[in-house]
Amino acid sequence: MKIKLLGVLFLTLSAAAAGAYDRSVLAEYNDLYKNGNYQAALDGYMEIAAKESYNPYAFYNAGNAYFRMNKPGLAILYYGKAFRLDPRDPDIRTNLEFAMKHTGQTFVPEGMPKALHYLYYFFSDRELKAVATVFWWLACLLLSIYALKETLREKLRGVILGAGLILAGAFLWSSARSSSLFSDAAVITESSTQLLSGPGETFKTYATLPEARLVKVLDDTDDVYYEIGIPREGIKGWVKKTSAEKI
Amino acid sequence: MNISIPNNFFRIIRRPAVFIALCLCAFVPQSLHASFSISAETDKQSVEINDSLYLTITVSGDSSSVPEPALPQMNNFNIYSSGRIQNISIINGKIATSVAFTYILTPRFIGKQKIPPISVSNGGEKHVTPEIEVSVVKAAAPAQASQPQNAPRAQAARQPSARAQAARQPEETLFMTAETDKKTAYPNEQVNLTIRFYTAVPLTSNPQYVPPTFKNLISEDLPPVKNGETVIKGVRYTYSEIKTALFGIEEGQASINPASVFAQIHQGGAVDPFDPNFFQQFFAMNSGQGETRQVTSNSAALKILPLPEGAPAAFNGAVGNFTFSTEPDRREIKTGEALNLSLTITGKGNLKTLIAPKLPDMPDFKVYDTVSSLNISKDNDVIGGKKIFTTVLIPKTEGRRTIPRITFAFLDPATKTYKELSAGPFELTVEKGDGEGQNVSFAHGGQAAPITPISSDIRYVSDRTAAPLTGTAAGRISAMPLWLNLFPVGALLLSLWLARINDFRLKNPLLFRFRKAHGEARADLAGAADRLKNGRPKETASILYDSLLAYLYDKSGHKVSGLTMRRTLALLKEKFPDAGEDALNGIKDLWGKLEALHFSPGGATQEEARDMLETYTALLSLLEKEFKKRG
């Protein structure tokens, strides 16, 4: 059993290692960034991000390039993507917070202790889902053994209870996160984006949204418009999909 | 240069808390704590356009190293580093360092010129010098010129060919050359690069010089700029010569990229550059009428040679020609007191990169941090000077103690041989000290200076290539199709069903025997048929006999082998009251025959066994029907 587990771990590690791209390629792009050639560096970072959708650093670097190119909306978009993949990374958190502050937004909601905010975002959405999946399988497996092996029931009770609690915790945490700022979020990427009262040009314009504003996507089924909500102001409306990008 | 560590400063680090605190201090960047000041001055307030002035920037601080000043962009001067002089002193446990950075400034324009504020920062603290104003005046007539290089200019001006040169096209009249005095050198061996800018036409201002960039070389300016005149292919040129000392970093090819000069050529009437009143005429013109020209030098290459074999153990990369001396500041000392051991290296070579000679093991002493001071000279275009490494030693025990011989080795490039210089050993008389020893720390003594935020910015790009393992694994797991999660549910349901069956079986053993009886009897019949086919009738009969008794046991719930046939039939009749008499008689008949065959000495014949097999098969079918009539 132990050998099998080690085998699985080895395969996982190998898969992770295989995902890493050549360091010299990144160094080349970072040199471009260092020398102020942000567009060329960005093209490189986007190439890496396209190949490795799990790699938060490619998104982070792309966010940096956009920030340097004075495109705060796209910078926040890519910092947000990086943050959703690795919310514990201090560089990603710092730059996202910096960019949000730069655009008049707050990363840590007012009144919320920083430590609690950190804990709330300690695991990424994927990690929470993975934990729930693993413990779902584990709980089912343990229950099966519990049903079949009467002699092991005493020993298994505590383990099954623990697995069940973790599973429930992961579900609850995921549910709580669904209302977070970065869940189903989008960033306004164009300045003075019009917020309409319906999905079409014929509807009235409620308001104009500044570039880099984080909004909540309520419905994305329309071909041209997102239905979005702005929790802080308590309003919702429609914006063109070309004016906002989902994180 | 003064290095002294008074004895009453030190205390031995004996308590763990003190030791830990010192360790923590070691991890804190010194520059964050150290405070410093800066001052700047020039050697003169007024300078002639063809002269130069010295700018000395002094940075003083209370740590062993102070930051270098950052010179601002100065388009009105060409700047050359001229050297540095460092003084370091350790008094009452506090280090005081003062480094004077000297630069030579050559003015480019006449008039009031300003040296902008010069800043120096250690990352937190920043100091700025006030602006310095310098008056740049026209050059005096050659007869009164202070610069010796002006002499040949005056002499050459009398030559008739000079006027002709002024009319030449700029492409022909401006050029640069770059050449080294050696083509090969060892790492850290000095190579002098000479860059000359020639002009045969007057310039509207002193040209702006952009130094070359280097590969596999580090450079050190060799000011001042020299001016002169020469005749090349019949054309008289004035030239400015800039020298730079180069030091190879590592074995291999090194290259010198082209240097550039931006010069403004007067577009109006020609002014003879060799006229004694050249500068007066020249600056009388409107400089706004000049045309800017860029001239670049040729590139050059150097081969950095591998170091000769046979380097002694003490060799740590020093190349040049040095003298070495070592001296403890006292010979009589008490345990716990400190002495300063100074290692002085003087001579020609790249002292900036020189590292301290390795000290031998000194088990009788505690050996503390080493600080170094550096004075650089550039006399006769040779980089040299003096570097002093000071190490604090504290004797642990009393008695006669010895500081072993210390060796410094270097490569002399002139002879291509390694040379070893030694000093010591030094005998010390150590007496027993009183109480606590001394505490040695080169950390800043006072409270940590507050960090003053100046501005904020995003953090730099990441150089991490691989995604975090947890993120990758989580990504792969969460990417699994949702329906796969139904598998453990299926497995769980199957387990529950199996568990229930098992439980039922344990609770109803007879029922399960009853249900299995027919199947097992059929299996016995198949086994018996095999044996009959193989010509083993006796075994066939035995199997059939045992099978019949087992079948009746399973159906009746009583072990019939321990009962009489009559009793068995009575039990069957009782349990299956609707069973026909034919069935019971069939049992009676078959049981009797099988028993007779089973126990007869000769055993059954092939025919008898076949007959029994067929009878049992038919009876089994009949019994299954009859027993089902129950209930």
- Considering only alpha carbons, which residue of chain A is nearest residue B487? A137
- CATH topology classification for B31-137: Immunoglobulin-like (2.60.40)
What is the per-residue pLDDT across B396-407, written as a single tens digit (0 to 9) for each? 788 888 888 888
CATH of B317-431, one of 2.60.120.260, 2.40.50.100, 2.60.40.740, 1.10.490.10: 2.60.40.740
Contacts 24+ apart (CB under 8 A), B592-601: B592/B565, B594/B541, B594/B544, B594/B545, B594/B548, B595/B545, B597/B541, B597/B545, B598/B541, B598/B542, B598/B545
Identify the CA nearest to B421 among candidates B310, B324, B313, B319: B324
Categorize the per-residue pLDDT at B629 as very low, low, confident or very high, splitting at 50, 70 and 90. Answer: confident
CATH of B509-627, one of 1.10.1200.10, 3.30.565.10, 1.20.120.330, 3.30.1360.120: 1.20.120.330
Q: Which residues in chain A are contacts of B480 at CB distance < 8 A?
A: 133
At residue B454, the pLDDT reads: 62
Distances from the Cα of B614 to the Cα of A30, B544, B591, B595, B610, angstroms: 91, 11, 14, 16, 6
**Mean of per-residue pLDDT scores for chain B:** 78
What is the per-residue pLDDT across B616-627, written as a single tens digit (0 to 9) for each? 999 999 988 888
At residue B286, the pLDDT reads: 46
What is the per-residue pLDDT across B109-148, written as a single tens digit (0 to 9) for each? 788 888 888 888 766 677 888 888 888 888 775 544 334 3
At residue B528, the pLDDT reads: 93
At residue A61, the pLDDT reads: 95
Dist CA A82 CA A61 (whole Å): 9
At residue A77, the pLDDT reads: 95
Report phi then psi at B120, rounded to 5: -140, 135
- Beta-carbon-side half-sphere exposure of residue B364 (alpha carbons within 13 Å): 15
Categorize the per-residue pLDDT at B7 as very low, low, confident or very high, splitting at 50, 70 and 90. Answer: very low
Contact B478, A130 (CB under 8 A): yes
| Token representation of residue B431 | 């007496």
- Greater confidence (B372 vs B280) lies with B372
Q: Which of A182-191, B235-244, B355-364 ranks highest by mean pLDDT?
A: A182-191
The ranges assigned to domains in chain B are 31-137, 156-304, 317-431, 509-627
Contacts 24+ apart (CB under 8 A), A103-110: A103/A72, A103/A73, A103/A76, A103/A210, A103/A211, A103/A212, A103/A213, A104/A210, A105/A212, A105/A213, A105/A214, A109/A181
Dist CA B90 CA B97 (whole Å): 9
| Token representation of residue A215 | 């909004």
Distances from the Cα of A229 to the Cα of A117, A203, A220, A247, B566, angstroms: 22, 17, 12, 15, 91
User: Digits of tens for pLDDT over chain A (247 positions)?
Assistant: 444 544 444 444 444 444 455 678 888 999 999 888 999 999 999 999 998 888 899 999 999 999 999 899 999 999 999 999 999 999 999 999 999 988 888 899 888 898 999 999 999 988 999 999 999 999 999 999 998 888 888 888 999 999 999 999 998 998 888 888 888 999 999 988 899 999 998 998 888 888 999 999 999 999 999 999 988 788 889 999 999 999 9
Q: Which residues in chain B are contacts of A85 at CB distance < 8 A?
A: 467, 471, 475
Contact B216, B250 (CB under 8 A): yes
Dist CA B131 CA A101 (whole Å): 37
Which candidate in B455, B458, B460, B485 is best for mutational testing of the A interface (most A CBs within 10 A)? B458
Q: What residue type is B233 in one-letter code?
A: K
Q: What is the pTM of this model?
A: 0.43
- Considering only alpha carbons, which residue of chain A is nearest residue B461? A61
Mean pLDDT, to the nearest integer, of B352-373? 80
Longest dimension (CA), chain B: 159
Give the range among B80-84, B435-439, B607-611 with minimum mean pLDDT. B435-439
B464 to chain A, any CB pair closer than 8 A? The answer is yes
At residue B405, the pLDDT reads: 87
Dist CA B625 CA B615 (whole Å): 16
At residue B90, the pLDDT reads: 59
Nearest to A20 among B461, B465, B494 (CB): B465
- Considering only alpha carbons, which residue of chain B is nearest residue A138? B488
Categorize the per-residue pLDDT at B265 as very low, low, confident or very high, splitting at 50, 70 and 90. Answer: confident
- Determine the distance in angstroms separating the CA of B483 from the nearest CA of chain A, rounded to an integer: 12
- Considering only alpha carbons, which residue of chain B is nearest residue A12? B473
Bridge partners, residue B113, by sequence: B134
Q: What residue type is B285 in one-letter code?
A: M
Tell me the H-state helices in B397-536. Answer: 469-478, 487-507, 509-533
Contact A98 B458 (CB under 8 A): yes
Helix (H, G, I), strand (E, B) or coil at A148: helix
B628 class by beta-carbon count within 10 Å (0-12 exposed, 13-18 middle, 19+ buried): exposed
What is the per-residue pLDDT across A30-42, written as a single tens digit (0 to 9) for each? 999 988 899 999 9
Mean pLDDT, to the nearest integer, of B274-288? 50
At residue B457, the pLDDT reads: 85
Contacts of B291 (CB under 8 A, 6+ apart): B170, B264, B265, B267
Percent of chain B scored above 90 by pLDDT? 12
Helix (H, G, I), strand (E, B) or coil at A60: helix
At residue B145, the pLDDT reads: 38
Report phi then psi at B168, rounded to 5: -75, 160
Bridge partners, residue B195, by sequence: B178, B242
At residue A185, the pLDDT reads: 93
- Determine the distance in angstroms separating the CA of B470 from the nearest CA of chain A, rounded to an integer: 7
B16 to chain A, any CB pair closer than 8 A? The answer is no
Q: What residue type is B552 in one-letter code?
A: L
State the ipTM, two decimals: 0.81
Dist CA A182 CA B480 (whole Å): 23
Nearest to B459 among A13, A21, A91 (CB): A91
Mean pLDDT, to the nearest integer, of B234-261? 86
- Considering only alpha carbons, which residue of chain B is nearest residue A148? B499
DSSP for residue B142: G
CB neighbours (10 Å) of residue B329? 15
Q: Which residues in chain A are contacts of B457 at CB distance < 8 A?
A: 98
Categorize the per-residue pLDDT at B525 as very low, low, confident or very high, splitting at 50, 70 and 90. Answer: very high
What is the per-residue pLDDT across B544-600, written as a single tens digit (0 to 9) for each? 999 999 999 988 888 887 888 888 888 888 888 888 888 889 999 999 988 888 888
- Considering only alpha carbons, which residue of chain A is nearest residue B476? A130
SS (H, E, C) B290-306: EEEEEEECCCEEEEECC
- CATH topology classification for B156-304: Immunoglobulin-like (2.60.40)
DSSP for residue B44: -
Q: Which residues in chain A are contacts of B477 at CB distance < 8 A?
A: 129-130, 133-134
Identify the CA nearest to B579 among candidates B631, B627, B517, B515: B627
Q: B156-304 and B317-431 share one CATH topology?
A: yes
- Determine the distance in angstroms separating the CA of B484 from the nearest CA of chain A, rounded to an integer: 10
Residue B171 scores a pLDDT above 70: no
Identify the CA nearest to B105 among candidates B133, B85, B68: B133
- Determine the distance in angstroms separating the CA of B29 from the nearest CA of chain A, rounded to an integer: 21
- Determine the distance in angstroms separating the CA of A202 from the nearest CA of chain B, rounded to an integer: 40
